[in-house]
Amino acid sequence: MNDLHVIKIGGDITANESLLHAFLQQFAAEPGLKILLHGGGKSATAMAAKMGLPQTLVDGRRITNAATLDIAVMVYAGLINKQIVARLQGQGYNAIGCSGADAGLVKSVRKAVLGWVDYGFAGDIGPEGVNCEQFVRLLELGMLPVLCSITHDGNGQLLNTNADTMAGAIASGLSHHYNVSLTYCFGKKGVLQDPDDDDSIVPVIDAAQYRFLREAGSISEGMIPKLETAFQALSSGVKAVTIRHALNVHPGTRLVSGIQQHTPA
Amino acid sequence: MNDLHVIKIGGDITANESLLHAFLQQFAAEPGLKILLHGGGKSATAMAAKMGLPQTLVDGRRITNAATLDIAVMVYAGLINKQIVARLQGQGYNAIGCSGADAGLVKSVRKAVLGWVDYGFAGDIGPEGVNCEQFVRLLELGMLPVLCSITHDGNGQLLNTNADTMAGAIASGLSHHYNVSLTYCFGKKGVLQDPDDDDSIVPVIDAAQYRFLREAGSISEGMIPKLETAFQALSSGVKAVTIRHALNVHPGTRLVSGIQQHTPA
């Protein structure tokens, strides 16, 4: 099987012109098959503010009413996705920007209402949600898929989807076709023991360490679904999951957090 | 050679929920290879108004500063494109939504400054602008390309492009690979002799008739580039060009304007 690198970049990178530029340079230089995934929450929140629409997040997930869905689609599938694609094309890479609806790549199911929380037009990706055959076709054409975190329900409805879990689902699904590694890139060097100390990277996180860090409060909010997805991806056949700074894309970089199911004795 | 139908829908259709729905039903039911093209000027103007950005059009073309380009990319490549793709997918058609940047499908050159008019981030498509090979690949995979009128310059810059001329350029380019027919769909039944009489359709328009109608004022504004593109497409090998109502997609419909290079004696 060929290697495939699924890389997700955070909204703190896509909203920062110079960081995004530097990341794309590094990303493009990495050899091999790649899929890039992005959301753009920070930019969507800024756009919503410009349009006078207040936003609500519960456990790091956006409550998506119809107007908020429109903003997410415009910002993620439109602005951010096409800017990334145009730049990669400008560097000579045959990028193709897609939402989950395009070519039926990723289908999701509208989130169930849990207690008082109705996430609205938000989608969860089930085990059959990733259309691996279509991903393989695009990769075999030499294309570099750039996915935004918008999916569809298969009945014409677009759904806002968490980009971390979408990256995990794509990596897991494609692990039957490729040796997949999954990388979460953002503006910090990894999972931090002390959120206020940028150098307090936790180098290896297994299930026990995760529980400890969560109870200690080092891991909270958006980092929780990221790590839960990471463990799921590993148990689904993904070879390696790391969390690292967007400017440390190269696999040789040591300043990262590696997620492991079990730490070797 | 196989038949290929390039269909462009106007902004008056994409901005009208029920017309768009009815159009997509008809469009999906037509057999054979198809490419759908859309802009969305009306929706972009509404979005710009919501965000307090005044818009200027010269000869039916939008002056595109950086903020206006962002709106065009968000509305065309994001909102409208993904809604169309999700609906076609919901009807069982393997639609893939693309801008000209995606897979390097359509490249353009920033418009020259003419006199006092600087169109800003607006692109013109040259003869080498359409990447026919990539279109053929997507079509051969059984995909239905849905293109929005955003292109790129090949150096990382997105450019706003007239959807009528983009449809003409794609149809012309692909006429070396397919028997291409090109259809412009909008909210009127065709080119009208009297703009105030919806039934005064001009059934056949050749070059002489075009000059006559233009001098008489029946053809003005956005209809001028549409017809000039139509004549160019015919002289480049496109088999048939018609202008018709979006709910008259079926080729058998008689209530349309057909464009011809020379009217047979």
Q: State the pLDDT at residue A117.
A: 83
As a whole number, mean pLDDT of residues A38-57 equals: 90
Q: State the pLDDT at residue A206.
A: 92
A105 neighbors A57 (Cβ within 8 angstroms): no
Look over chain A and give the mean of its residue pLDDT values, rounded to a whole number. Answer: 92
Q: Do A150 and B81 touch (CB under 8 A)?
A: no
Task: Look at B264 and A62; give whichever has higher pLDDT.
Answer: A62
Q: Is the CB of A89 inside 8 Å of chain B's CB atoms?
A: yes
Separation in Å, CA A52 to CA A55, A71, B51, B170: 10, 12, 10, 39
The answer on pLDDT for A263 being more than 70 is: no
Task: Give every residue of chain B whose pLDDT is below 70, as ranges.
Answer: 60, 263-265
Q: State the pLDDT at residue B60.
A: 67
What element of type H or E holds A18? helix A17-29
> Which chain B residues have a beta carbon less than 8 Å from that of A152?
85-86, 89-90
Q: Do B73 and A78 touch (CB under 8 A)?
A: yes
B72 neighbors B160 (Cβ within 8 angstroms): yes
The answer on pLDDT for A265 being more than 70 is: no
In total, the C-beta contacts within 8 angstroms joining chain A to chain B are 121
Q: Do B79 and A102 touch (CB under 8 A)?
A: no
Which of A81, A89, A96 comes nearest B152 by C-beta?
A89
pLDDT range class, residue A227, cuts 50, 70, 90: very high
Q: State the pLDDT at residue A243.
A: 94
Q: State the pLDDT at residue B264.
A: 56
ipTM of the predicted structure?
0.94
Q: State the pLDDT at residue B164.
A: 95
Q: State the pLDDT at residue B116.
A: 81
Q: State the pLDDT at residue A164.
A: 95
Q: Is the CB of B136 inside 8 Å of chain A's CB atoms?
A: no
Q: Do A99 and B94 touch (CB under 8 A)?
A: no
The answer on pLDDT for A260 being more than 90 is: no
Q: Which of A158, A160, A106, A157 shows the shortest CA–CA distance to A133?
A: A106
Q: Is the CB of B227 inside 8 Å of chain A's CB atoms?
A: no
Q: Exposed (0-12), middle (13-18) or buried (19+): which is B127, by Cβ within 10 Å?
A: exposed
Q: Is the CB of A158 inside 8 Å of chain B's CB atoms?
A: yes
Q: In the block, which residue shows the tokens 């048939």?
A: B240
Q: Do A98 and B96 touch (CB under 8 A)?
A: yes
Q: What share of chain A is helix, strand, coil (3-state, %, to 5)?
A: 35, 25, 40
Report d(CA A218, CA A223) in Å as an integer: 9
Q: State the pLDDT at residue A112.
A: 82
Q: State the pLDDT at residue B111.
A: 87
Separation in Å, CA B53 to CA B47, B49, B158: 9, 6, 19
| Beta-strand pair A257-259/A240-245 | antiparallel
DSSP B74-116: IIIIIIIHHHHHHHHHHTT--EEEE-SSGGG-BB-EEPPPBTT
Which of A82, A152, A156 comes nearest B77 by C-beta?
A82
Q: Is the CB of B36 inside 8 Å of chain A's CB atoms?
A: no
B86, amino acid identity: A
Q: Is the CB of B103 inside 8 Å of chain A's CB atoms?
A: yes
Q: Do A85 and B101 touch (CB under 8 A)?
A: yes
DSSP A215-231: HTTSS-TTHHHHHHHHH
State the Cα angle at B47 between B42 and B51, rounded to 5°. 145
Q: Do A90 and B152 touch (CB under 8 A)?
A: yes
Token pair of A43 as six digits: 């930019």
Q: Do B82 and A51 touch (CB under 8 A)?
A: no
Helical axes A17-29 vs A81-90, angle rounded to 10°: 50
Render pLDDT for A67-97 as a digit per residue (tens, 0 to 9). Answer: 999 999 999 999 999 999 999 999 999 999 9
Q: Is the CB of A145 inside 8 Å of chain B's CB atoms?
A: no
The answer on pLDDT for A165 being more than 90 is: yes
Give the three-class secondary structure for A75: helix
Which of A94, A99, A155 comes nearest B104 by C-beta?
A94
A22, amino acid identity: A
Non-local (6+) Cβ contacts of B59 within 8 A are B221, B224, B225
> Which chain A residues have a beta carbon less than 8 Å from that of B85?
99, 101-102, 152
Distance from CA of B71 to the nearest CA of A (A): 8
Render pLDDT for A207-226 as a digit per residue (tens, 0 to 9). Answer: 999 999 999 888 887 788 88
Q: Do B86 and A94 touch (CB under 8 A)?
A: no
Q: State the pLDDT at residue B254.
A: 72
